[in-house]
Amino acid sequence: MTSDLFSRRRAERFAQLLDEANGGRRHHVRSRADDHLAALVAVGRQLSAGSPPAAVDPDFRSGLRAMLVATAEREGIGAAATAPAEAGQTGPRGTVATGQRGSFLPSATARRARARGAILIGVAAGAIAVSGISAASENAVPGDALYGMKRSTERAQLALASSDLSRGQLFLDFARTRLGEAAALRGDQLGFEAVLDDMDADTRQGVRLLTTTAAQRSDPAGLDAVNTFVVGQRRAVGDLLTGASRAERDRVRQSIALLDATRKRSDALRAAIECELPAPAGSDTLGPIPTACPGGR
C-alpha cells in the first residue's frame, strides 16, 4: 500500500513539474523526488519543443491519435466525476454532496487523472520520437547501430498489414531493401551473402503470399505485382555482377535463378487462372503449383 501511494505521488508531482516547465501555474511545494524527476522533466521539454528530424508518417499520426483517444476514454481522462446520488452523502474531506451529478471532482480523482494524462502525453511524445528514429534507420545496413530498429520497424509493418496481399507486397519491398544493403556490403563476403540470403527469403515469402492469394481468388492482380517486382529486381540484382569477386558472382546467380523461377511460376498460375482451373492442391516455397491447361494453352 505504501509503495503504491509513493508511486502515485511521484506521478502526480511529475505531472505538476511538467505543467510548470511548459508555463503552467507554479505549485508552491517541494518534494524529495524533485531532484530525481528533474532529468525526466528535461527530456519531456526536449520532446515537446523539438520535432523529430524526419517527418512523421500520416498513417502513424492517425493511428497514434486513435490510440490516445481510446486510452483516454477507457481511463476516464477528462471525464467529470459523478457525485454521490443521494443528497446528504458526505464526499471527500467532509464535503456534502448536493445530489447533482458532476457537481464537483474529488481531489484524489483529479490528481489521478492528471497523472494518467501526463503519462499518456509521455507515451505519445516517446512514440513520435521513436518514429523519428525509425525514419533515421532507413539507410542502416547490417553492423550499424540502427539496423535492429530498421528490422523491427519492418516486423511492425507486417503485423499491421490488413491482408495477405498487403503482407506479400511488403515482403517484396523488403527484398528490394535487402538488395540495396547488399550493394553497400560488397567486399564483405560474409555480410554480402547473409543479406542476399535475407533478400531471397523475403522474396519467397512475398511471392508465396501473392501467388496463393491469386490462386484462391482466381484473380491475377497479385501476379501483376510479382511480375513487376521480378522485372526490376532482376535487373538490379544483375548489376551486382559487375566488379564482383568470383564468390560474389556465384552467390548473385543463385538470386537471379530464384527470380527466374518466380517469373515462371507466376506465368503458369496466370495461364491456369485464364483456363479456369481449380486452385492447385500442391505448393512449395513459391506458392501453389498449377497444372497445365488442357491442350497446352
Same structural domain, 156 and 222: yes
Instruction: Kindly state whether residue 156 falls inside one of the protein's structural domains.
Output: yes
**C-alpha–C-alpha distance, residues 134 and 128, integer Å:** 10
Does some domain include residue 143?
Answer: no
Residues 132 and 221 in one domain: no
In percent, the amount of the chain with pLDDT more than 70 equals 56
Average pLDDT over residues 80-103: 48
Write the pLDDT tens digit of every residue in 256-284: 999 999 999 999 999 999 999 888 889 99
User: Does some domain include residue 171?
Assistant: yes
Backbone angles phi, psi at 283, to 5 degrees: -155, 165
Q: What is the pLDDT of residue 97?
A: 47
Establish if 141 belongs to a structural domain: no
pLDDT (0 to 100) of residue 8: 63
Q: Among 28-32, 102-106, 220-224, name the most confident range.
A: 220-224
- Look at residue 179 and tell me if it is in a domain: yes
Domain count, the chain: 2
Is 98 part of any domain?
no
pLDDT greater than 70 at residue 59: no
Question: How far is Cα of residue 177 from the mean position of the Cα atoms in its chain?
Answer: 17
Give residue-wise pLDDT tens across range 157-206. Answer: 999 999 999 999 999 999 999 999 999 999 899 999 999 999 999 999 99
* Cα–Cα distance measured from residue 66 to residue 283, given in angstroms and rounded to the nearest whole number: 40
- The one-character DSSP state at 186 is T
Query: For position 28, what pLDDT does the model report?
Result: 57
3-state DSSP assignment of residue 83: coil
Question: Closest by alpha carbon to 168, among 132, 238, 133, 215?
Answer: 215
